[in-house]
Chains A and B, each alone.
Chain A
Amino acid sequence: GAVVSQHPSWVICKSGTSVKIECRSLDFQATTMFWYRQFPKQSLMLMATSNEGSKATYEQGVEKDKFLINHASLTLSTLTVTSAHPEDSSFYICSAAQDGYTFGSGTRLTVV
C-alpha cells in the first residue's frame, strides 16, 4: 500500500530558531499533501493544503508566514516552522491523498 515517510520523528529546538519537517510519498506521486497539527489529547486540526508547483492553501487562523510550506516535487512537501516559540510545540502530521489518505508517522516538536 501507499507509504508516507515523515522526518524527523522528533525534534527539540531553541526559541527563535526554525525547524523543517519533511514529508515524502515513497511509492506514489502526490500532487496534494496536507499538514495537520495535534495538541495533546486533542484532535488533528488541518493547517494547510500543499499543492505541487503552487502556493499552499492555509486554513483560517494559521499564519502562513510562520508555517512555510513548500511542495517542489510530486513526492516531497516540507513544513518549516519559522522563529519557533514554545506555543508551537505540538505533534505535526502530514498526509497524502492516496488510498484513503495515508498519514506520515508524525513529528513531535518541542520548543524550549
Chain B
Amino acid sequence: GEDVEQSLFLSVREGDSSVINCTYTDSSSTYLYWYKQEPGAGLQLLTYIFSNMDMKQDQRLTVLLNKKDKHLSLRIADTQTGDSAIYFCAERGLRGGGGADGLTFGKGTHLIIQP
C-alpha cells in the first residue's frame, strides 16, 4: 500500500525555525496535508497544498512540495512553546470510484521546544 514517512522527533530552540519533513510514495496524490495533534486531543488542520503547487505560505507556516522527489516539508517560523505537539503529514490519493477518499498518515513528528 501507499506509505508516508516522517522523522519521529524534532527538537528546536524557542524562537528558531522548525522544519518537519515528510516523504510519500503515492504518485497519484492530489492533496497533501499537515495536521497538529496536542496530547489527548483530536487533529487540527494546519494547512494543505494541492499537488500542482510548489509552495504555500500562511503566516508562520510555509509548506514546500517537491513532487518529483515526493517530498513535503512544513516550516514553522519563530517556534513558540505552544507549537509543541505532534505534527502529522497526510496525503490524499486517487482511489477511484468517486466520492471523498480517506487520508494516509505518517506516524507523526513530535516537535520538542527547548527554552
Contacts and interface: CB of A to CB of B under 8 A. Distances in A.
A6 B42 contact: yes
B94 to A, nearest CB: 14
A102 interface: yes
B106 A108 contact: no
A67 interface: no
Contacts of A45: 105
B43 A103 contact: yes
Task: Report the contact-size class of chain B (Cβ under 8 Å from the partner).
Answer: 20 to 34
27 contacts: A34-B100, A34-B103, A36-B105, A41-B107, A43-B106, A44-B43, A44-B88, A46-B102, A51-B99, A93-B42, A93-B43, A95-B43, A95-B102, A99-B45, A100-B33, A100-B48, A101-B33, A101-B90, A101-B103, A102-B45, A103-B43, A103-B44, A103-B45, A105-B42, A106-B40, A106-B41, A108-B40
Contacts of A103: 35, 42-45
Contacts of A102: 45
A46 B41 contact: no
Interface of A: 6, 31-32, 34, 36, 41-46, 49, 51, 59, 93, 95, 97, 99-106, 108
